[in-house]
Amino acid sequence: MACHQPVQSQKEATTPLLLSSSPSKPLSGEAFNHYHNYAARFFDSLLIRRGGFNGSILVAKNGTIVYEKYCGYTNPSQKKDTFTASSAFHLASISKTFTAMGILKLWQLKKLSLEDTISTYFPHFPYPGITIKMLLTHRSGLPNYTHYLEAYHWDKKKMATNADILNSLYTLHPPLDFPSGKHFAYCNTNYTLLALIIEKVSGETYPDFMKNSFFIPLDMKDTYIRTPANADQAMPSYEWNNRQFPREFLDEVYGDKNVYSTVHDMLKWDQGLYPGPLFTQQTLDSAFAPYSFEKEGKRNYGLGWRMTLLDNGKKLLYHNGWWHGNNAVFIRLIDEDATIIVLGNKFNRKIYSTKYICDLFGKYMQHKEEEEE
């Protein structure tokens, strides 16, 4: 396994590596070594020594990178091209955090209401009463396009677009999975529609809106939205046995997926999600609040964010991703200003056990959890 990590002096390692809107709390050399050594032992055991990991890892505290490592190759079947800090991975469903915060940015600017119905933007939408908030919280009841298109015999030789997903709801009119607003059910269709609403309200394409609203302001130079125009630059993904996943007819739909980014850029995204130039505290409080309570349990969902609500009052904010061979974890511990990011392009189920490193920063993993996308 080819693994490497940047060589940093103690001064470099204990100084925040980016402009952060979170409180600046420089780390002492002793604190840095504590976090670094714990993370190194954890990931060596979980992913690196016997885990077959192929991707990038970053752990940060107070905006300071305390551990990062790059293992494997962009093409593991040929052991070709090792990863670097600028290697952009498909974030899969972590992309939903960008879509959700894009909607909330427009809400903060008073350009839309979360209680707007979808018919406000798409006249005669065939499922009345569904609101933007229901899409954000996965409470719409809409069927998942990743399932029903195939069931309705979509021509797989044709690449589906967001407009196709919207049109299919009109023309195919698949039945709701449950009455809108009744409960939570994770559904990619919700976020394809949110991307279209962003385009309607902003007057920009979804890729341009993300670039102008987030990627440029946060200096996320290696982050982009995959489109047909840049599909060839997108890093391919692989099965556990190094077989490359071919392109398929759902690969160009965005909003629910198709943000490509690096661990460094994702740290910048994390730091932009504290009160500051991009978002007010009110907006962030709305994003990170739970909205589904009809089922008992510690897990919940905010406006684009998964969360675990612990008995000790702590809240673990995160989102996982999984599309083809890409799987990823993005964890934010806002009480401690700690960030954990793992991005891979070769399927590895162990990546989802990354959450157990949260106890490095506080009492988070008080019980075992099942894996989830």
Positions annotated as catalytic residues are 93
Length of the chain: 373
**Pairwise CA distance, residues 269 & 246, whole Å:** 30
Helix (H) or strand (E) holding 146: helix 145-151
Name residues whose C-beta falls within 8 Å of residue 203's C-beta, 6 or more positions apart in sequence.
none
Residue pair 95/258 in contact (Cβ under 8 Å)? The answer is yes
- Strand boundaries in the chain, DSSP class E: 3-4, 55-61, 64-71, 73-75, 80-82, 89-90, 224-225, 259-261, 299-301, 306-309, 315-323, 326-333, 338-344
The distance in angstroms from the start CA to the end CA of the chain is 26
**Pairwise CA distance, residues 221 & 230, whole Å:** 15
- Tokens 């406006």 belong to 303
Residue pair 155/248 in contact (Cβ under 8 Å)? The answer is no
